[in-house]
Amino acid sequence: MTNNTSPIQAVIFDWAGTIVDFGSFAPTSIFVEAFKQGFDFDVSLTEAREPMGISKWHHIQAVGRIPSVKARWAAQFGREMTTEDIDIIYAAFMPLQKAKVADHAAPILNAVEVVEELRAKGIKIGSCSGYPREVMDVLIPVAADYGYKPDYIVASDDLTHGARPAPYMALKNVIELGVTNVNHCVKVDDSKPGIEEGHNAGMWTVALLLSGNEAGLTFEQFQSADEETLNTAREQAREKLIASKPHYLIDTIADLPQVIAEIEQRIAAGERP
């Protein structure tokens, strides 16, 4: 039953590392495989994680520009990475990603329950992703089988200028969901470009520290970790995410309800993001 009591009109979620795929392993592990398959070139999981949050073609380009990767590429091939090289790696990435993304579609912690709590308050559920549409077309039905069905979904290549940190994917959600005030929306993400996207769209922003790319923990590692390990991972993620100035930093989506309650109070008091 919907009660429509919240001043928040929509919450727009990222996908990997936010709602599904604890630790955001589906995209990062595939980047490592794609470089290996395309050019027999090795990148580390840490290097593959560094530009997370942007569209996948641009992600490959950004990995190639990391100084350590750039130096190894020049040493191995005697030249800088070209757009044609990126195209080849991206072509290797796409089938690998489509084959593996469904394996990482399980919701994070209380994601489905939190989403349904928001929906019960009359809040619309938007979503956008750095994944292109052909990957999302594989992920969406599997996530739906797990119980996650957002009201609207934007993929990175749905729009001409969709790339984060530009606000267009978030604003496409605003348009399609019939939102009348972007200041009454919340963007939830585990990456710096995703939080900047929310700021650029005029929304409240919530960054996730432990379920996403920056901590890089598997769910099993998260469950078994002692407090010292979690604090180390938390600070590692905070150091990267704080540059995007999120309004709130929380561990996982399970902690979102208390933040939503605070944002509701701030909106009711006349505050803007």
Catalytic residues: 14, 56
CA atoms within 13 A on the CB side of 125: 18
Closest CA to 15 of 121, 122, 153: 153
- What's the residue count for the chain? 273
Residue position matching structure tokens 């044609």: 84
Q: Mention every residue, 6+ apart, whose C-beta is less than 8 A from residue 73.
A: 41, 64, 80, 81
Closest CA to 13 of 160, 169, 133, 162: 169
Residue position matching structure tokens 């009454």: 184
Q: What are phi and psi of 133, to 5 degrees?
A: -60, -40
CA atoms within 13 A on the CB side of 116: 9
Residue 270, judged by CB atoms within 10 A of its CB (0-12, 13-18, 19+), counts as: exposed
Cβ contact 168:159 at 8 Å: yes
